[in-house]
Chains A and B, each alone.
Chain A
Amino acid sequence: MSTKVEQVVKAILDSPDEILHTYREANEFYFRFRGHTFSIQECEPSSNSFDREAGYSFYVYPQWTSSPQSLPFAEARGEHGTDSVAYREGEFEESLLQQLHREAMSRCFKVDAVFDDVLGDAGA
């Protein structure tokens, strides 16, 4: 049986059109989904074997109500409301976070518009 957070990630993947206001900062994509703020980060493993951030991480920001775009800067400054809960790759079914990362990235870079355009041209 999957955990609650896994169900949330699956819900996001089931309704990618509801991933809104995507914003990229470094290797992390911030977004809103059904009124709540989340982010997905992909981190290259470093030489440090105790690197906790290596791989994919999913963050939930329960108190953040402003736009995801202003979140990374507020986070860097340690402002109020930026507290997050982190979930690491190992806590999810294989490749679930990888799929979410790709989905958030596609939404951020508007890949769908490119595909629609290409398919539209091909159809014409």
Chain B
Amino acid sequence: MQAIWDSRQDIVLAVGLISNILTILLSVIALWGLVVKRKQLGLAFQMLLTSHLDRRMTRVRETLTRLESLNYDKKTQRGEVRNLLAQLCGSLAAISEESDELSELVDELHEYHHENQPLTENNKRYLLSKLQGILDEIDHDARVRVLGRDKS
């Protein structure tokens, strides 16, 4: 009975020892990775952030494409244009910290949506083309960040 008990304790000790060794090994590898592969890790993290931004941008661009196909001068399309502008306002609010210009544009869109500012097809086109430009700039900045080069 005592012999069985002793062998079981030996097994527990052996397993504990192996797990401690593995923990130490993995910690060393992680530290080595953090010190030696710092740039690669940073790049991977940056790419993760960029892909998140990309998904949001794709949704915004889809809404933009739909808005461009509608004409505010057509009475039957006005409701959808205003609804899509509201949707755009919400989507852009999530990425508005990416650029001051975008933040200003979100405020402008907000006025059209919540404060019932009169809108025209020309105003709509102006806002959309301005937004396209800002999104292209944000896209470009994100790529530059991933490549690790500072925009000069």
Q: Given A43-B73, A43-B74, A44-B73, verify A25-B119 contact (CB < 8 Å).
A: yes
Bound-state Cα–Cα, A26 to B79, Å:
13
**Would B78 and A72 count as touching, CB distance under 8 A?**
yes
Instruction: Name the A residues within 8 Å of B110 (CB-CB).
Output: none
Interface string of A1-32 (1 = CB under 8 A from B): 00000000000000000000000111110000
Interface bracket on A: 10 to 19
CB distance from A43 to the nearest CB of B (A): 6
Q: How many residues of B contact A (CB 8 A)?
A: 16
Interface of A is mostly: mixed
Report the minimal beta-carbon distance from B70 to chain A, rounded to whole angstroms: 12
Q: Which A residues form the contact surface with B (CB < 8 A)?
A: 24-28, 41, 43-44, 46, 53, 57, 59, 70, 72-73, 75-78
Can you add 18 more A-B contacts, CB < 8 Å, to A43-B73, A75-B75?
A25-B78, A25-B118, A26-B119, A26-B120, A27-B121, A28-B75, A41-B75, A53-B74, A53-B76, A57-B75, A70-B116, A73-B116, A75-B79, A76-B78, A76-B79, A76-B81, A76-B82, A78-B79
Write the residues of chain B forming the contact surface with A, with a CB cutoff of 8 angstroms. 71-76, 78-79, 81-83, 116, 118-121
